[in-house]
Chain A
């Protein structure tokens, strides 16, 4: 059984009392304490068009499962962002340097994670899914 952990550290001086939060979780399959054992691997893509694309395709074997998704905008231009949507619902905009980490239950076949860059100049994005199953596409 694979053991994978995701640790978040938040630090802020917005308030007069400093915020420091650390949260670690082990990545398990749905309804179990068995570790997730599959991954898409760590991917870097440089986008050169503003076309909305399917970053991660919801598949039958993934529906209702405990996939975890990490996405990071590695641009260094503060004005550049990628718009993240699931099934056409806007989640948010990852500006340069931003990242996100979500559980993705792939609620149905249309529940793809999609990404639209704000610019057509080279915009690097890194992403990874750690999961418990995905339907393979027949050749």
Chain B
């Protein structure tokens, strides 16, 4: 059985008067049990237009599952961003260097979409665990 872990560390010495230091590790299991997710796909894509497109389509994934998705903007610009959404609903914007990690239901039509803010080359990388 495969074992995949995802660890987040949030740290700040000065966001609040008391230092912030949160660390949490998740073991990525299938829906409702302790069997590890066992499929992974990953890609790096460069975009040169501001059109909204599917980054990850639901085709081939089990719906209502415990999939996990990592997406990052590999750029360094503080002004250029990717808008990430599911179907037509915007989740948020990944500026240069930003990343996100989400559970993904992958139910009917729940494609993950991406929209670059500029038409100059912008690159995103992603990994889907399912």
Contacts and interface: CB of A to CB of B under 8 A. Distances in A.
A70 B93 contact: no
Contacts of B88: 89
B78 to A, nearest CB: 5
Contacts of A101: 8, 99-101
A7 B15 CA distance: 16
Interface SS majority for chain B:
strand
Contacts of B16: 39, 41
Interface string B89-108: 11111110111111111010
A31 interface: yes
Interface in A65-122: 66-67, 70, 72, 78-79, 81, 84, 86-95, 97-105, 107, 111
B102 A100 contact: yes
Contacts of B91: 86, 91, 102-105
A9 B7 contact: yes
Contacts of A95: 29, 31-32, 66, 103
B119 interface: no
Interface of B: 2-16, 20, 22, 24, 26-29, 31-34, 36-40, 64, 66-68, 70, 72, 78-79, 83-84, 86-95, 97-105, 107, 110, 127, 129
6 contacts: A11-B4, A12-B2, A28-B95, A66-B95, A78-B33, A99-B26
Interface of A: 2-15, 19, 21, 23, 25-26, 28, 30-33, 35-37, 39, 41-42, 66-67, 70, 72, 78-79, 81, 84, 86-95, 97-105, 107, 111, 128, 130
